[in-house]
């Protein structure tokens, strides 16, 4: 069909490959400590709606061989089982993207499974702090910047020779609407997501001569756990409706489609863009 759901429909190469890390919504990571007073952790329950899982599913449906990763083996196992159960070409491995040895294993797994890597989607993110920006310790700053900003660049540096050989490769970073509209008490996280916008722009210029495109997805309020959103901030949707005309929360699949497009030859003349999927535009 028009979306290329048949094998190799959207992706024209013989062995499309991908690395993808699953994560939960940035807003869920914000809400969890408000409700529980606890540390935030990514959750990739295959039965729950997640941006990373939706992207993996859509890319595989569009003909890609997909490699997913997460910090926890149980998350990888659930995601792979769910997607393979749909007849999709997916494998996975445990990877803490902040650890060099895990990144090396992830690259090796992708090359073994796919024979090459045509595109990279970086979704992983952490936010262990809800509180004062200037009250954040150096350790917290390091953790947030290591995972959210440095790890995509370091991982891409390991994949670069393989992607360059393939030709026409693509990278999609995943930021957040907080890059444009900071949430109070998420200062370090807001900053890290703003940095991803700059990283996307810089890499797009640097890698253009190598035939590699780099773009950045900027999700707004995506319905990954609507009950928590309603409970913690009951007037959130009405407030955004009043200010920005926002009619509803987005769905993970609405992020997945644009990522598949950006990774495909259909987007061969698009690079260096920060693309908001938010139901409104935060930019001029």
CA distances from 101 to 35, 155, 158, 161, 268 (A): 34, 11, 12, 18, 32
Q: Radius of gyration over alpha carbons of the chain, in Å?
A: 18
Encoding tokens for residue 233?
């901030």
83: enclosing H helix or E strand: helix 73-84
**Per-residue pLDDT tens over the stretch 116-135:** 899 999 998 888 888 899 99
Catalytic residue ranges: 189
Question: Which of 163, 180, 165, 241 is closest to 216 using CA atoms?
Answer: 180
User: Which residue, 106, 27, 21, 115, is CA-closest to 65?
Assistant: 115
Determine the Cα–Cα distance for residues 139 and 99; give it in Å rounded to an integer: 15
**pTM of this prediction exceeds 0.85:** no
Question: What confidence score (pLDDT) does residue 42 get?
Answer: 30
Tell which residue, 174, 190, 201, has the closest CA to residue 276: 174
Across the 284 residues of the chain, what is the mean pLDDT of every consecutive 10-residue run?
A: 35 50 41 34 42 93 92 92 95 92 92 89 87 93 94 95 92 93 88 97 97 95 62 61 72 94 95 91 70
What pLDDT is stored for residue 237 in this prediction? 60
- CA-to-CA distance for 129 and 187, rounded, in angstroms? 9
| pLDDT for residue 181 | 87
pLDDT, residue 47, reads: 40
């Amino acid at each position: 069909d028009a979306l290329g759901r048949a094998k190799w429909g959207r992706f024209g190469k013989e062995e499309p490959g991908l690395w993808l890390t699953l994560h939960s919504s940035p807003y869920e990571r914000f809400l969890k400590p408000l409700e529980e007073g606890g540390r935030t952790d990514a959750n990739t329950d295959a039965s729950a709606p997640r941006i990373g899982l939706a992207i993996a599913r859509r890319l595989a449906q569009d003909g890609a061989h997909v490699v997913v990763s997460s910090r926890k083996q149980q998350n990888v196992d659930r995601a792979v089982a769910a997607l393979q159960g749909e007849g999709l070409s997916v494998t996975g491995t445990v990877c803490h993207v902040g650890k060099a040895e895990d990144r090396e294993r992830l690259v090796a797994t992708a090359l073994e499974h796919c024979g090459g890597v045509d595109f990279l989607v970086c979704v992983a993110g952490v936010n262990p702090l809800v509180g004062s920006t200037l009250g954040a310790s150096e350790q917290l700053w390091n953790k947030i910047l290591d995972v959210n900003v440095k790890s995509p660049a370091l991982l891409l540096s390991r994949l670069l020779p393989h992607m360059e050989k393939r030709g026409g490769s693509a990278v999609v970073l995943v930021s957040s609407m907080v890059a444009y509209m900071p949430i109070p008490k998420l200062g370090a996280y807001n900053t890290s997501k703003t940095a991803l916008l700059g990283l996307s722009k810089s890499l797009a210029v640097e890698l253009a001569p190598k035939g590699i495109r780099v773009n950045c997805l900027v999700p707004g309020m995506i319905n990954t756990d609507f009950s928590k959103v309603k409970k913690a901030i009951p007037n959130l949707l009405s407030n955004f409706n009043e200010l920005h005309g926002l009619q509803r929360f987005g769905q993970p699949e609405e992020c997945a489609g644009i990522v598949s497009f950006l990774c495909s030859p259909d987007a061969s003349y698009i690079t260096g863009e920060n693309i908001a999927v938010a139901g409104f535009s935060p930019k001029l």
